[in-house]
Structure 1
Amino acid sequence: MAEKEKDVTEKVTPQKAEAKKAAPKKPAAKKTAAEKKPAAEKKAAAEKKPTAAKKAAPKKAAKDHYEARLKLRYNKEIAGELNKEFSFKSIMQIPRIEKIVVSAGVGDALTNKKFLDSAVNELEQITGQKVLRTKARQSIANFKVREGQEIGAKVTLRGNRMFEFLDRLLNVALPRVKDFRGVSPKAFDGRGNYSLGIDEQIIFPEIDYDKIERVRGLNVAIVTTAPNDEQARSLLRRFGMPFSKE
């Protein structure tokens, strides 16, 4: 009996193996278009979709383009008037104000540094810009000045701040000078630059007389691109520089 069962097992087992081999394979399911789409394309498509946060983000407001009053006046009126007066071959030859340097010598800073601090603070109030402390280039024994010692302050103005300072100087500060009769028309250096001395800093409205250490003078140097004094004088006169009559 055991031998018969063994024979049956031996006969059936090979048949099953052959049946398994002959059985047809199931066809693989076809991939959909979405499945065939490369992963890179899926990622790109996801990036293109705007998120709710991006939609809600407000647009940045455009910055206001501010120009000082005298700068606008130069561009609209003064430049054309100068071109007509001197008949320049190129508009690049029309003179303009390049910069204004405001400075103050503080000799009493040699004995007390607080006078220099006060002068720096006043210049910053007048110009609205950070001030540079100036140092002695060499030692002077007679004045007890050592090389490198801080003896003054200055600030260089350009752009809108330059025009704003010039506007206040011409229309507010100078008219406050007692018995003012105009500024000298001869204070040019021969190369189109003008130097103006101011005896008292208190003519500027930014300075409070009750809060200053002492009254001190300032120097205002107006640097232009004019090649000579004639063109520079005409330029400053059109801005309103009150030259005296001689």
Structure 2
Amino acid sequence: MKNTILIAFLDIKESFRSKWFLIYLLIFGGLVAAFFISGVTNSRVLGFSGLSRLLLLFIQVCIIILPIFILVSTVRAILQDKESNVLEYLLSFPINLREYYFGKALGRLFGIFVPVFLSLVLAVIWGVIKGVNVPWELFLLYSGLLFCLCVSFLGIAFLISSLAKTAEIALALAFFVWLVALAFLDLLLIAILMKYQVDQNIIFAVALANPIEVFRIAAIGLFDPALAVIGPAAYFILDTFGRVNFLIFAHVYPIFLGILCLVLGFVVFCKKDLA
């Protein structure tokens, strides 16, 4: 455990020195600042105002940007160490593969979640200074959903990093996974539904296997308990889960998916040539 924490700490220090971490922090922090400058918290749209309105906009940003940032910044984590011989150097110390792999994952989780969380904290601090009502329950639940989304795509990224032979292949796979999760899955499901008359419950169930879709619906549900925005799918979700149970599912499933992919990646990592 001590070596795992040490590897995580080294990865965190490396993240702080890298340009991608600075860009990552500036993008999310800059977006929150831009929202305040543009007067988003002073506007009212569909009954949402203040920080609730800002968080609603932040959801749309996270759905598109957060998964691809996680995949691109994480998918080369192991491959870069292999190509630069850092992995071989680290394993010359009394550190086993499990400690290296999961220490690396723990450090990357810190690096991808903290900038997003700090952006939310910045929004809350600014709201308190300006005297805006802070929706603490929404803030905590939304922070939890963001953490779960980070865990799920972190696991997927490490699985890709273990499977790919080169950094270029890993990046290509990362973009493909992002496109499928973000855009192609919904379009493909609708096409299957229209052409083959597949039962709609099966379509909705497959859609909920997508962690981005789960995050989107759960985040919307924080502001719109009736889920009127997503249309007929709301009846399936509310009848099958209920609002509270779906929020629990939205926290448990992405973490389960992320851990599963992380463990599968570790199995592949141990079986491949490390040199």
Q: What band does the TM-score fall into relative to the shorter chain?
A: under 0.3
Relative contact order (C-alpha < 8 Å, sep 6+): which is higher? 2
Scaled by the length of structure 1, the TM-score of the pair is 0.24
Scaled by the length of structure 2, the TM-score of the pair is 0.22
Identify, as 1 or 2, the structure richer in helix: 2
Identify, as 1 or 2, the structure richer in strand: 1
Larger Rg: 1
